Structure 1
């Protein structure tokens, strides 16, 4: 079984989460991590796609919000293509291919609606993917760092995703989503 983990990261926090998720997956499946700019467009041969990015303005980033992040200290070359653009034309490599998504969000605004993961989930389901999980991970401020415990939480979520995909081609029973342990 193979899992592809794709991330967009402006300050490095989402990259750390993606790597932790992949570490959790590797106990059950082969996992590769790619920055969105180098991620494959063909998903044939992947049993699970996990995609994540930062929440910008209650959704996935756009060119204007990425420019705002650069003005707040993000590396100018960190992201030319965002997760929104990568997902826009993406199609499953197989019928009902498993998909999970995550985002990083500022913990001070947990109560506000909207998230990058929610938007990614809608885009993926609309394209024909089978959503098996969606999760948010928290940063203490725009540049980070991640709140204490969230890298371990990401690793555990990756482990849960890996167990579900390795257990069956159809993923978990019930509503198809993977609960976070």
Structure 2
């Protein structure tokens, strides 16, 4: 069994969350866990991957677009992403029975709708992935961060929980 975490990060916050999720996942699932940027992720998910975790920042109520990434770069984004999770989802060859869990980072603003995790889960289902679950949101203080206190610890704990879940193992029935 192997897990693959694909992330998109512009200011480094989502990358830090993905790394924390990997640490937690490795504690409960000591098999291989790979972590890749969305613009380095394969268009065909290798057969040995038995769990996919996909995360990105929430921009303009959803996954990033080229225009929102350009705006982030103008605001000092540290990482330059050529292909975000939106474009990756549009291009990936679906594996219908592969368990997939999404996550996002976003600024906590009262009554502000939108979630990259929710949008990604919806897009993955539309592409033909049937075992998709919208996961967690991890909160940042402002567009460029930092992550709120305790979010990395929460991400690591969430990764550990994901690794321990029997319904995310190969051959397990869909649903939670």
TM-score normalised by length of structure 1:
0.88
Compute the displacement of 1:155 (Å): 0.7
Structure-1 residue corresponding to 2:111: 111
Structure-1 residue corresponding to 2:37: 35
CA distance in 1, matches of 2:20, 2:34: 12
3-state SS, counterpart of residue 145 of structure 1: coil
Does 2:165 align with 1:164? yes
Compute the displacement of 1:133 (Å): 4.3
CA displacement 1:74-109 (0-9 Å, x = unmatched): 13x62111110001122334x4110011110012x1
- Between 109-118 and 159-168, the greater mean CA deviation after superposition: 159-168
CA distance in 2, matches of 1:80, 1:138: 24
3-state SS, counterpart of residue 139 of structure 2: strand
Alpha-carbon contact 1:164-1:171 (below 8 Å) kept? no
Alpha-carbon contact 1:98-1:171 (below 8 Å) kept? no
Structure-2 residue corresponding to 1:121: 121
Q: How many residues are paired up?
A: 172
Runs (5+) with no aligned partner, structure 1: 177-181
Compute the displacement of 1:111 (Å): 2.8
Give runs of aligned pairs for residues 40-59 of structure 1, distance below 5 A.
Answer: 40-43=42-45, 44-59=47-62
Runs (5+) with no aligned partner, structure 2: none
CA displacement 1:5-31 (0-9 Å, x = unmatched): 011000000000000011111121421
CA distance in 2, matches of 1:23, 1:57: 29
Give runs of aligned pairs for residues 48-127 of structure 1, distance below 5 A.
Answer: 48-75=51-78, 78-93=80-95, 95-107=96-108, 109-127=109-127
CA distance in 2, matches of 1:136, 1:101: 9
Alignment CA distance shift 1:172-1:132 (3 Å): farther
Does 2:136 align with 1:135? yes
Alignment CA distance shift 1:61-1:116 (3 Å): same
